[in-house]
Amino acid sequence: MQPQGMVSSADAAASALEAGDGGSPSLIRTFLQGRGSSAVADGTFRNLMMLCSLSIFAIVAFIAWELVKGSSASIHEFGFAFFRTETWDPVSGEFGAWPFIYGTLVSSLLALLMAVPLAIGVAVFLTEMCPRPLRGPISFLTELLAAIPSVVYGLWAVFVLVPLMRDHIGPFLLKTLGWTGFFGGYNMGIGMLTASIILAIMILPIISSITREVMTAVPISQREAALALGATRWEMVRIGVLRNARIGIVGGVILGLGRALGETMAVTMVIGNSPQIAKSLFAPGYTLASVIANEFSEATGDLYLSALMEIGLALFLVTILVNALARLLVWAVTRGAPARVA
């Protein structure tokens, strides 16, 4: 509460500042003294905030614990080999996670490969070149992409992207890049590449909006420093803006990667759901998240269920590992240089 709020007129304000009769303290003094010491408030605030941040640790630890507990049967049966076994055969009771780990990593990294340049392009256009009146609508549209539920992306992929892939993009890639071996075999339109494309579209908005934010935060003086050296527009963006924003951009990319690794619905609808490792990106694959979603309800037998739990554990570990690696990379690249503009 503000002390001014207690008095209505200038006279009252004046008298509020003066000492009252008989040396009693002024209105404001009394008010301020009544506020008490800050020790309790500060202490409470600190503990409350600490509790909030500790709850995150607690939640993570709890999830990890539950996953380990749920998958203990599978861990006993297969040991560490679970993560590198290629067979997934519920009928004969053989379970290995490697095809799913492979599918998750490859689809997500391919998605990043496509989404990052595009997202940075969108952000550069929006912050440095776009005519002012178009800026709002375009950023709104990119952010709207993030709000579409993933099942809708999946439907769109099934009805639009899959035929497109089968009849146009696939044959074109086969003709131009077939010699690499990455685009060969039977192309049904569903498979690793289609899943990566839909993932790329889904993570584009988050990467581009974060990139846009950090680029906007780079001070004009850095742009002017580059321009004054005779930099062209692109050179100015490169050394005066992107270089200064790189840590924030990597942060955005990591968030996008996190989303790609865990994305379930849209991927399940187009990846083909076949636990195999193929060189051709036209071939179907499977991801950790998809196999859990697909098989959990029909898992019969404790070992099957336990193996699926361990798949969840694998997804958890992959996510943590990839994030740690990405941060290590940032640290290695930017070591010595300050992270942001002074």
Partner 1 sequence: MGVGIRVTNLNAWYGDNHTLQDINLHMPANNATALIGPSGCGKSTFVRCLNRMHETNPIARATGSVMMGDLDIYKDASPVEVRRRVGMVFQRPNPFPTMSIYDNVASGLRLNGFRNRRVLDEVVERSLRSAALWDEVKDDLKRKSGASISGGQQQRLCIARALAVDPEVLLMDEPASALDPVSTSKIEDLIFQLKSQYTIVIVTHNMQQAARVAENTGFFLNGKMIEFAATHKIFTNPTDKRTEDYITGRFG
For partner 1, the binding residues (CB under 8 A) are 132, 219, 221-232, 235, 239-240, 243-244, 246, 334, 336-338, 340-342
Minimum separation from the CB atom of position 243 to partner 1 (A): 5
Residues 290, 264: contact at Cβ < 8 Å?
Answer: yes
Identify the bridge partners of residue 95 per DSSP, sorted by sequence position: 88
For residue 239, give the nearest of 228, 231, 249 by alpha carbon: 231
Provide, rounded to whole angstroms, the least separation between the CB of residue 252 and partner 1: 17
Residue with tokens 């099934």: 158
Least distance CB 231 / partner 1 (angstroms):
5
For the bound state, the minimum distance from the C-beta of residue 229 to partner 1, rounded and expressed in Å, comes to: 4
Q: Give 129 or 152: the residue with its C-beta nearer to partner 1.
A: 129
Q: With respect to partner 1, which residue has the nearer C-beta, 66 or 224?
A: 224
Distance (Å, whole) CA 309 – CA 302: 10
Q: Tokens 């050296």 appear where? A: 229
Q: How far is the CB of 338 from partner 1 (least distance, A)?
A: 5
* Between 55 and 216, CB nearer to partner 1: 216
The whole-angstrom separation of Cα 223 and Cα 235 is 10
Phi, psi of 49 (to 5 degrees): -65, -35
Between 203 and 214, CB nearer to partner 1: 214
Burial 194-207 (b: 16+ CB within 10 A, else e): bbbbbbbbbbbbbb
Tokens 């036209």, residue located? 282
Kindly tell me which of 166 and 238 has the beta carbon lying closer to partner 1.
Answer: 238
Distance in Å, CB of 247 to partner 1, minimum: 9
Query: In this complex, which beta carbon is closest to partner 1, that of residue 48 or of residue 332?
Result: 332
d(CA 125, CA 134): 11
> How near is the Cβ of 126 to partner 1 at its closest, in Å?
14
Q: Is 94 helix (H, G, I), strand (E, B) or coil?
A: strand
CA angle 204, 201, 152 (to 5 degrees): 125
When the beta carbons of 147 and 332 are compared against partner 1, the nearer one is 332
Number of DSSP helices (H) and strands (E) in the chain, helices first: 16, 2
